Structure 1
Amino acid sequence: MDTREQIIQESSKLLNRIGPSSMTMDMVAHSCGISKRTLYEKFPDKKSLIMECLRREHERQNAEMRHIFETAENCFDALFQVFTRTRSYLQQTSAAFIDDIKRLYPELHAKHREKEKEFVIGLSQVLAKAQGEGHVMPNIDTDIAAFLFLSTMRNLNENERLADYGFSRVQVFEGAFLNFLRGIATIEGISYIDEFVNNQQKQ
């Protein structure tokens, strides 16, 4: 692994663990075992480093999603795999991450929001396919359902509001995801959901 790749990997770990505002270039250099001079030769400032970390993470997630939906047994199976990975990501990522990005780098947060429309379109297509598989009710407008799901997921970034009610991001994500699917699922789909939940509880 070359130095630039090592910097990106170590920085991504720090970003997830403590958030952008707490991460310093000194920390990155120390984690990589390199001098600050070497670090600044690769990345002129913290913002450029964070931008590259976010770009890489977005690429990684997209590749992972493509693989899941290409190899899953059906759409619900794919969605449950996404659920499991997202829950793990939330457990490992600092709650301050999104707050820091919004506050310190609003242009980066704006780019993230621009991708939301792609998410809604993609989820709508998945739900439409799940209708054909018999897991989502045929009378559901998948465009509206996908938009409503996104609107609910935005609450994951409202850390102060969640704290007021004593909820964690993981709790809200689990409840929102599973209740969303139950609300649009057929009887067969609900059985599939129940089987997944029961298997999760046994683990």
Structure 2
Amino acid sequence: MRIGELSRRTGVPVPTIKYYLREGLLPAGELTSPNQASYGDAHERRLRLVRALLEVGGLSVAAIGEVLVAVDDKEQPVHKLLGTATRCLVPGYGEASGSEGAEDAETVLARERVTRLVASRGWHIDPGNKAVEALVAALASLDRVGQGGFVDVLDDYAEAAERVGRADLDYTAGRVAREDLVEAVVVGTVLGDAVFAALRRMAQVDASVRTFGEEASRA
């Protein structure tokens, strides 16, 4: 198909498709003449993935580029490749440490809590994992704003996250092709975060109504 047809199928404007081609988010089409190229179903699939990561997942073009490099890497073992892909998707929250590289008291306490949580749940995860650092930073920030008591529900959060994590991998288990497997993890992680956030808010509204009355549903 020509680029115009690719645009019509996906709803992505031609100038945007050309931008993605320049940025390497889409592979080049097959040249049919010096100024024309042909695109196939793989281009349409990749373009829809890029738009989903951008519009629903909220990733930047640069982050999408990193994710796609991981998706297309056929040299690494699948487990390592999945780890690379998911690490690209974990948002950063700045440095968890205090001034001059020394961790403040809140960060030290948060790190101890996260270490205990990982050990108690028997999770196989490296202490330097980006997600671990993000959790440390979040807990330290909660402590600084006077909400340190949030740790009382941390294990409940971990239990829910564990169930969701298992569901994610159960979803991907049926994918046989390598590209399908890695894409499923990427899409499931990014778009799954959006789905889970929406479900969490819906559950909060329901719990608020049940706890505080019907007027809470209008909040």
More helix by share: 1
**Normalized against structure 1, the TM-score is what?**
0.30
Higher relative contact order (CA 8 A, sep 6+): 1
